[in-house]
Amino acid sequence: MEILHLRNATIKLNYGGLTFLIDPYFAELHSEPSMGGKSKNPTSALPIQISKIIHHVDFVIISHLHPDHFDRLAQQKIPKDQAIICQPGDQKSIQSMGFTQVIPMQEKMILGKTSIYQTSGAHGFGKMAEIMGPVSGLVFQNETEFTLYWLGDTVFGEEVKNQINRFDPQLLICHAGGNKFFKTFDFLGLGLKEDTSPLIMDSKQLEELIRFAPKCKIIATHLNALDHETESKESLERMLAENGFPADRIYIPQNGERLHF
């Protein structure tokens, strides 16, 4: 298995002889509005040319339709006949963009010799999870590979624990930027009286995940890309060092870094 971490949630995954591009976010540096009142987004550039990213992709996977997971530039650059897997309910929106091979996720899909299971999550806590809408994760299984659980845009909770117990994965990819919305910059116009709780995992939740799944290797992404993050690669590395977690178990890749398992 090869995982090419590109930026934010975007990865290019070679798994079981197939290549998957997950949650393509192609926007140019500082070309999109601020979400936290600190900077235009994205706050980092893609490390590789888009033409190379979309070359030799068997399936594009769109976990949900938030713009930092499938933005306007990705919608323009990805060929309209590219096979796209999306969560149920999003296919009509993606088809309306001109894409002709849109496949809704199923509880279990078999592609070649790889089984892919759809999982759910919570994109925040309480009412914010409802406002943010449904999100999906994925479990990849193949006899020749580690079982991979890509958690998606979710906080750490019972759903994640249940999937780890069910599938016993060797490798997890989680989103750990601790992104939130701030009362001083009410991006969604919600009338916030206080900052929201994290919408995805933060360092505290990453620590909880590491302790819950002591046998798993864990990759933390969704960092150093958006201005409403409350964590960074550096803050997570400090947490890992303070807790004495082994460096060969937890990975926080740079944009453009390739990992092999």
Q: What are the chain's domains?
A: 2-260 (3.60.15.10)
Let me know: does 109 contact 83? Beta carbons within 8 Å: no
* Rounded Cα–Cα distance for residues 93 and 112 (Å): 27
Q: How many CB atoms lie within 10 A of CB 237?
A: 15
What is the Cα–Cα distance from 53 to 58, expressed in whole angstroms? 12
Q: What is the mean pLDDT of residues 30-54?
A: 98
**pLDDT tens digits for range 178-191:** 999 999 999 999 99
Question: Using CA atoms, how far apart are residues 107 and 116, in angstroms rounded to an integer?
Answer: 8
Cis preceding-peptide flag for 42 (omega within 30 of 0):
yes
- Please, what is the average pLDDT of the chain? 97
Q: Name the residue type at position 161.
A: K
The enclosing H or E element of 205 equals helix 203-212
Q: What pLDDT is attached to residue 247?
A: 86
- The answer on pLDDT for 197 being more than 90 is yes
Buried b (16+ CB within 10 A) or exposed e, 74-98: bbeebeeebbbbbbeebbeebeeee
What does the pLDDT average to over 230-258?
A: 96
Residue 177 near residue 231 (C-beta atoms within 8 A): yes
Q: What is the SS3 string spanning 141-183? A: ECCCCCCEEECCCCCCCHHHHHHHHHHCCCEEEEECCCCCCEC
For residue 196, give the DSSP letter: P
- What are the C-alpha distances in Å from 130 to residues 133, 135, 152, 189, 254? 5, 10, 16, 15, 31
pLDDT of residue 208: 98
Which residue type sits at 183? K
Q: Where are the alpha helices (DSSP H) in 41-187?
A: 50-53, 72-77, 91-95, 127-132, 158-167
For 145-160, how does the pLDDT look when each residue is reduced to its tens digit (9 = 90+)? 999 999 999 999 999 9
Q: Is the pLDDT of residue 140 over 90?
A: yes
Give the pLDDT score at 11: 98
